[in-house]
Amino acid sequence: MNKHDEYRLLRTGYLEAKNVTKIHSHSFYYASLILPPRIQKAAYSIYAVCRLSDEAIDSSSPQSQVAGLNKIREKVAHAYSHKTIADPLGIVFQKTVRDYHIPQEYFNVLFTGMIADLTKNRYKNFNELYDYCYEIAGIVGLMMLSIFEYTSPEAKKYAVDLGIAMQLTNIIRDIKEDWERGRVYLPQDEMSRFNISEDTLREGRVTPDFKAFMQFQIQRAREYYTNAAKGIPLLKGKRVRFVSMAMTEFYKEILTVIEKKGYDIFSGRAYTTAAQKTVITLKILGKAIR
């Protein structure tokens, strides 16, 4: 392959990764625009592969789920091999994991969580749920940390905490959608403690017990965000730290939106609007200036 062909494939691959990110994660895409180009491209390539893996699990039939996930696993394994890759997204992904020395084990952990998603749809307690969140999201925090780079090994713990916090936020926000897919990512023992049955979820009843249950879940997610914030000063580069702060605040705002809706997650999906993101961004910049 000559230099011209290599450049063309890399350009195509990065554009594909950027489009996947832009379509499926407005918050991350919005925040990432300030990243240095080299880090931005690497982050998009990792996000795109993780997103395509997630989409495979959310497809309609078990057969297509397994087939889709196996296809992504092969793409990742191929990237870590010494074989030549012709697929543009595969090429930029391979370049990223090599340039930033991202361990293949991280992706093995991710796929373990995704495979579990095919067979497990209930969680007895938070310990079980935590393990799932680590495999699905905490490990992605470690992937991104490899790209962002850091000054102390302690940053790894905080990167995992941020991934856990974001996944807990997704779980709280998506209770209705997950129920419709036959999945309940809420600790069963905590549901019993707050008198929440699966009929409550099916019927979309925002009872006093359900509100108390949601308050408990939101408080725990916020505790993970608070702990994760300790890792931001350990990141290299002001723009990288800004993006981490922005993502933290964008996702935390979803919890605030749910509270303002009276914990009614059944009537509509909670999200952070463009206007809210702009306000959050200005607040972060204001703090930086001061």
Domains of the chain (ranges plus CATH)? 1-104 (1.10.600.10), 120-290 (1.10.600.10)
The whole-number pLDDT of residue 119 equals 87
The whole-number pLDDT of residue 136 equals 95
Would you say residue 195 has pLDDT above 70?
A: yes
pLDDT digits (tens, 9 = 90+) for 156-185: 999 999 999 999 999 999 999 999 989 999
Give dist(CA 19, CA 247) in Å, integer. 19
- Quickly state the pLDDT bin for 95 (edges 50, 70, 90): very high
Give dist(CA 230, CA 248) in Å, integer. 12
Give dist(CA 104, CA 84) in Å, integer. 18
DSSP letters, 26-52, are HHHHHHHTTS-HHHHHHHHHHHHHHHH
The whole-number pLDDT of residue 47 equals 95
Q: Please name the amino acid found at residue 110.
A: L
- Quickly state the pLDDT bin for 117 (edges 50, 70, 90): confident
With CA atoms as reference, report the closest residue to 48 among 18, 5, 7, 84: 18
- Quickly state the pLDDT bin for 4 (edges 50, 70, 90): low
With CA atoms as reference, report the closest residue to 162 among 251, 54, 288, 51: 251
Mean pLDDT, the chain, whole residue set = 92
Cα dist. 215→27, 54, 222, 285 in Å? Answer: 24, 28, 11, 30
Average pLDDT over residues 50-62: 76
**Residue linked to tokens 């395509």:** 52
Residue 289 tokens, joined = 């200036």
The whole-number pLDDT of residue 71 equals 85
Give dist(CA 78, CA 243) in Å, integer. 30
With CA atoms as reference, report the closest residue to 231 among 138, 168, 95: 138
pLDDT digits (tens, 9 = 90+) for 203-214: 999 999 999 999
Would you say residue 286 has pLDDT above 80?
A: no
User: What H or E segment, with its residue span, contains residue 273?
Assistant: none
Cβ neighbours of residue 168 closer than 8 Å, sequence gap 6 or more = 133, 217, 220, 221, 224
